[in-house]
Amino acid sequence: MTKSSNAMWGGRFAAGPDAIMEAINASIGFDQRLASQDIAGSRAHAAMLAACGIISDTDAEAIGEGLLTVLSEIEAGDFPFSTALEDIHMNVEARLKEVIGAPAGRLHTGRSRNDQVAVDFRLWVRDQCDAADGALLKLIQALIAQAEAGADYVMPGFTHLQVAQPVTWGHHMLAYVEMFARDRSRFADARARMNTSPLGAAALAGTSFPIDRQMTAEALGFDRPMANSLDAVSDRDFALEFLSSASICAMHMSRLAEELVIWSSAQFRFVKMSDQWSTGSSIMPQKRNPDAAELIRAKIGRIFGANVALMTVMKGLPLTYSKDMQEDKEQVFDAADNLMLALAAMAGMVSDMVPQVDNLRAAAATGFSTATDLADWLVRELGLPFRDAHHVTGSLVALAESKDCDLPDLSLDEMKSAHDGITSDVFTVLGVDNSVASRTSFGGTAPDQVRARIADWKDVLG
């Protein structure tokens, strides 16, 4: 091949097809993150081979000790990863041979890279489920602390981003506690389902060696070995479930991030974000930008994208393993990194934000937020059918609008013009404090209900 024809490959691949094949085939650039899981799986496999009489105890001991040496080199940053060796498995095995010699060649007895990568990746994703659970717990605890401090703070509740009814700050915080608690349960469910071991499935059909798959499963913390070798090497549901759970969690964070962006604006002034989570403008000295919330809102797209990408990789694959499945890891790694970063940042923002109580209360009293309380009073005290009460309340809202005032500002005579049965008692339900205090149904916004739910959550979380 002439030098000019090499130009078609681009400057990076001037060496031609061999360089391109090496670049597209190698995964060591990203799957080196599986090093500790790969070594744990290999040590469990070697110990099992010895226990089953497939290799000698001496060889198994040398393999186990040698793998720990390799792991220490990787953790110290002294390991020379090689693209020519393709992946983490071959890199570790080649270095093991350099460390202990011939016994290293016995490690791969009774297994394949197919079940090896399957167990490594499953172990890694399982660890990420645990990490997500811990990060979610910190975020939930931050929200509960905010709820407890502001159980009595009155703020507007919104529908269509318009003032609907007064609620309490504590109630609003606990809504996100419920969401993130469901996220914890999804990660826990996914973890329980993925906690089966593919190790020992070999390439796809199992092995003729008398291995003990239950032993390796227990050694690696799995509940049991997977029951079908074809499924064991080709399943990536565990990664998809992690990404699905991460996507829903990310969506919840994006909703909260959006509220923090809105609430911290000059138009709302509901919360003050700390300098730690805000930035200034390069040209406008008055600006206080909620950059952390905005970045969380944006990073969510990467997590959603990873979910779609892996679904697309898997959708057309026949059983069992295809090289397409090498594309499973980068997406999951990126999604996990961004999920953990977003969770940590969100917990920090929630912990540090300061609700602006006076602004919240003032906003809660706007937009005829106690109109529903008035309608309920007409039903409860005057016996009106709700549809009639709705009509009477609507006429009073229209009257207040024409006078550019709120419902509590109307006089009793003006109230009675809509229905002559209205008495001065009606004013007891029109204040925002009275409104929230009346919402005592289970799960309602009344401060007593908020405190009861906080106590429930503290019992659950321990």
Q: Which residues are catalytic?
A: 160, 281
Q: Are 429 and 408 in contact (CB under 8 A)?
A: no
Q: Is 238 left (phi over 0), alpha (psi -120 to 50) or beta?
A: alpha
Cα three-residue angle 107-43-96, rounded to 5 degrees = 55
Q: Provide the residue type at 72 as one letter.
A: S
Could you give the CA distance from residue 93 to residue 103 in angstroms, rounded to a whole number? 11
Could you give the CA distance from residue 330 to residue 332 in angstroms, rounded to a whole number? 5
CA distances in angstroms from 94 to 59, 100, 203, listed in the order given? 16, 10, 20
Could you give the CA distance from residue 371 to residue 165 in angstroms, rounded to a whole number? 8
Residue showing tokens 């070999």: 202
Which string of DSSP letters, residue by residue, matches 356-400?
A: -HHHHHHHHTSTTTTHHHHHHHHHHHH---HHHHHHHHHHHHHHH
- Label residues 196-205 b or e (16+ Cβ within 10 Å = b): bbbbbbbebe
Residue showing tokens 């953790």: 75
Cβ neighbour number for residue 130 with a 10 Å cutoff: 12
Beta-carbon contacts of residue 96 (< 8 Å; ≥ 6 apart): 63, 66, 67, 70, 104, 107
Cβ neighbour number for residue 381 with a 10 Å cutoff: 15
- Label residues 390-405 b or e (16+ Cβ within 10 Å = b): bebbeebbebbeeeee
> For residue 39, which phi and psi values (nearest 5 degrees)?
-70, -35
H helices then E strands: how many in the chain? 19, 6
Pairing of strands 154-159, 162-168: antiparallel
Structure tokens at 390: 């709705």
